[in-house]
Every structure is written in C-alpha cells, then in structure tokens.
Amino acid sequence: MNQTILLHKRPAGKPLLSDFKLVSEEKPEIQAGEILLKAIYVSVDPYLRGRMSEGKSYVAPFELHQAITSGIVAQVVKSNHADFSQDEYVYGILEWKEYQTSRGDGLHKVDADKAPLSAYLGVLGMTGLTALLGLSEIGKPQKGETVIVSGAAGAVGSVVGQIAKIMGCRVVGIAGSDEKCDMLTSEFGFNAAINYKTTGNMRKAIATACPKGVDVYFDNVGGAISDAVLVNTNKFARIAVCGAISIYNNTSPPTSISVQPFLIKNSALMQGFIVNNYAAKFPQAMIKLSQWLAEGKLSNTETIVEGFEQIPQAFIDLFEGKNKGKMVVNI
Ligand code: NAP
C-alpha cells in the first residue's frame, strides 16, 4: 500500500493535525513513458500555509481532499521513460505520497555525490536561491553596510546572513530563542543576534545592535518585528520583503505601522518578491551557492524529522520555531 497525505480541512488560524488526513491507497503502476518515484526527502515550507487557504494568491490554493504538494527529492525506482534511469535522484514539486508516477515534467536530476540529497531542498534549492537572489537583487548590500535579517535562524534567514557576511557586511539576526541566537553568532559569524521573544524593547535592541543604523533589511516575518526594524533604517535603505510568517495564521487584520513616512523620510526602497521572478538567474546563482558550500563558506544547516506520517507535524512546527535551518522530512 501507498501512504498519502490529503488536505482534509482548510486551517482556521494556526494549522492543526486534524486539518490533514493520512490515507492508504494502492501503490501505482507505471505506464509507457512514465517513471515510478519513491519520496526520499520532503520539504515543509511556510508558504504552503497560504495555499491551504481559499483566497487567491500567486499560486492556486490546494484542493480539499487532494494530496498536498511541495518540493521533494525522490528516487526513480522503475522507469519506462527514455530520459530517466532506475536509481537516479530527482527534485520536483511532487505530491505528499510515498510512491507516485510521473511523466518527468518539471523534474530536475540531482547528484547525490555532489551534496547530501536534503541540501537540494535547502541551501542548493529554493531556500538558497531565495536568500541569494532576494538579498543581491533587492538588498544590494555593499561592503561595510549593516544588514539585518528576521527569521534569521530559519532556512532562508540563516543563508541570507551567511551570504551577507561573505559580502563583507555587519550582520544582525533576529530569532526566537537564545540557542538560535548563539548559533547565529558562534557558528555563522553574525555580529549580533536578538531574541525577539525575550527582548522587551525591540526598537532599542535593534538600535544597539546596529549602531550605524540599518542599510538592508531582509524581512522573513513581517508584523511588529519589522515595524521595529523600519524605525531604525538609514537613508537609501533597501528592504527585501521575502515573507510574513508572523501574520500567516492571523484571523483578524494585522495592525502594523504605516510604512510610508519611513520610506519617504529615508528615500528607502521596499520591495516584495517571489523567488521565481528571478528564474533566469537560477543557473548562475546555483554555481555560486555550490561553490560557497564546497568551500565551507556556507553551512547547510537543517532539522531532519523522520517518517512520512510526521510531515504535517513538521509543517505545523515551523510556526512554533522548532526548526534550525531548513526543516525537511526524511521518508
Ligand atoms: P523558516 O524560517 O525555516 O521557518 C519558519 C521560522 O519562522 C521558524 O523557525 C520561526 O523561527 C519563525 N517564526 C514562526 N512564527 C513566527 C512569528 N510569529 N514571528 C516571528 N518569527 C516566527 O522558513 P523559510 O522556509 O526559511 O521561510 C522564511 C520566510 O520566507 C517565510 O515567511 C516564507 O514564507 C518566506 N519565503 C519566501 C519566498 C519567496 O519567494 N518570497 C521563498 C521561500 C520562503 P523563530 O524561532 O525565530 O521564531
């Protein structure tokens, strides 16, 4: 039999285990021109929360009672397809199923000898591309500038901070525990880190950690944390709005400050982005990320949860900050 995870109910606020359903179905058989894939690593990502709601976004909502999809590294276990051989590994946006068939559309081969397979969901996947391209295309950090990143100990944030260090910046991270803050300063070389859960006055803490003000803000969380960063921005600051996890589960409208006065006063740039905007730059970006990883300049930090049936819990745990680096599930 083949285990599958369906979206059972649309979450109201924080996602719950009861919003998902684990079912068993027949293991699929391949037809001509198809391959049989076995899931190896499944990525759980905050953006999936948006797809679980009904509202229109930049990607269509998931359908109720259908398998959820996310980035997955899978192994070809049978092939009737000329371009894929048995035992090869691929990455694609695939269904939360132990086994599934594919005609190969949208699949990319990945090399298990070049990097651990899970890295293709993290630093060598969407995570790394989001960090590098959001930072360089919108943040445009210059050597000696101050870069601050929220969600700093997570998948994207930890890579953003490390790249900003490679670029010669002063780097400050905002994260949700002392242990995470220690990791940022001692393992990743951040200049300072702020635990937003224990800091009473975030505006003051940011001013102290950024004595020359903030030149670049890489925003993963939105809400009150971002308000506190905004009031500390410098003239011509650049704010790359990558995510807003602090408000993804809101059931009432957020109450953030008005950004216009800060943008006007500082002639600052604030721009949202979706990593796929920069698809044409992926190949070059991948070369850089692979090089930094091979040289030991970038760390592939991840939290690996074991077992197919743990996928929904791993997803829910993102909103509790239970991960350090990229959260992946090993099937
Ligand atoms: P992640 O940072 O690895 O995981 C989520 C982290 O968010 C948690 O570990 C937690 O860390 C923090 N968090 C949870 N609830 C929070 C809250 N209420 N306030 C502040 N922090 C909270 O996830 P990721 O995959 O790297 O994604 C980070 C952000 O980037 C997300 O907003 C995501 O939607 C966005 N993203 C955007 C793109 C794009 O193309 N624009 C692509 C990928 C990701 P703490 O312990 O620090 O709270």
Per-residue tens of pLDDT for the chain, all 331 residues: 999 999 999 999 999 999 999 999 999 999 999 999 999 999 999 999 999 999 888 889 999 999 999 999 999 999 999 999 999 999 999 999 999 999 999 999 999 999 999 999 999 999 999 999 999 999 999 999 999 999 999 999 999 999 999 999 999 999 999 999 999 999 999 999 999 999 999 999 999 999 999 999 999 999 999 999 999 999 999 999 999 999 999 998 888 899 999 999 999 999 999 999 999 999 999 999 999 999 999 999 999 999 999 999 999 999 999 999 999 999 9
Edge-first strand order for the sheet with 233-241 is 192-195, 170-175, 146-150, 214-219, 233-241, 269-272
pLDDT at 55: 84
Residues with Cβ within 8 Å of 151's Cβ and at least 6 positions away in sequence, in order, are: 157, 174, 175, 220, 221, 243, 245
Which ligand 1 atom is at minimum distance from the Cα of 322? 9
User: φ and ψ at 307, to 5 degrees?
Assistant: 110, 130
Closest Cα to atom 19, ligand 1: which residue? Answer: 246
Nearest CA residue ID for atom 8, ligand 1: 321
Distance of CA 280 to the CA centre of its chain: 20
d(CA 270, ligand 1 centre) in Å:
18
pLDDT at residue 324, rounded to an integer: 98
Q: Could you give the 3-state DSSP secondary structure of residue 39?
A: strand
Residue 273 CA: nearest ligand 1 atom is: 41
Identify the residue whose C-alpha is closest to ligand 1 atom 9: 321
C-beta of 282 in contact with ligand 1 (< 6 A): no
pLDDT score of 30:
97
Instruction: In whole angstroms, give the CA distance from residue 312 to residue 236.
Output: 42
Ligand 1, pocket-test mutation among 221, 270, 278, most atoms within 8 A of CB: 221
**C-alpha to C-alpha distance for 174 and 221, rounded to whole angstroms:** 10
**Residues facing 110 on adjacent strands:** 89
Strand partners, 42: 72, 329
Whether ligand 1 lies within 6 angstroms of the CB of 117 is answered as: no
